[in-house]
A = this chain, B = another copy of it.
């Protein structure tokens, strides 16, 4: 007998991995913003600060590869960090196109001070799960993100991007 097409129900949304990822991302951002309200930093801005801290003198294009953010998006993020005086852009001598990124004193201080709040936020996201399940979920997500790296429009290219630097990590 010919199989009828399945009826379209809300399960086509609720049970879809894509919907769960979107929903969890919304929740994660909400928790982060709540815990870090005192610092007026978004998750993206925080990630940029960490990367510039870890790779001082990196340029915007390489930074976008290191945290897998779109180059255009990152430009705006850096602009905001600069206007908050957390980050400085200095023209590179060897290449007139490039601007090198550095944390200001205030940027380094903010990063140091926000860390406990960030850790609280990250913990809260997984809090509802049992400890063993947290580990499993983290491991599977790490695996999945890694294996799907090329599927995203801006793949993570941590190593490639750092070949020109002292290659600190």
A residues neighboring B (CB under 8 Å): 5, 8-10, 12-13, 15-32, 43, 47, 50-51, 53-54, 66-68, 111-112, 115, 118, 121-122, 124-126, 128-129, 133, 136-138, 140-145, 147-149, 151-154, 156, 158, 169
Contact = CB atoms under 8 A, between A and B. Distances in A.
A128 B142 contact: no
Contacts of A129: 140, 143-144, 147
A165 B17 CA distance: 28
A147 B137 CA distance: 15
A58 B31 CA distance: 30
Nearest to A17: B125
Given A22-B25, A24-B21, A125-B18, A10 B118 contact: no
B137 A26 contact: no
Chain copies in complex: 2
A8 B115 contact: yes
B54 A24 contact: no
Given A10-B50, A18-B125, A26-B154, 19 more contacts: A5-B115, A8-B54, A17-B141, A18-B28, A18-B31, A20-B142, A21-B28, A22-B29, A23-B68, A23-B145, A23-B152, A24-B141, A30-B152, A126-B144, A128-B143, A128-B147, A128-B148, A129-B147, A133-B143
A72 to B, nearest CB: 14
A140 B144 contact: no
Contacts of A50: 8, 10, 12-13
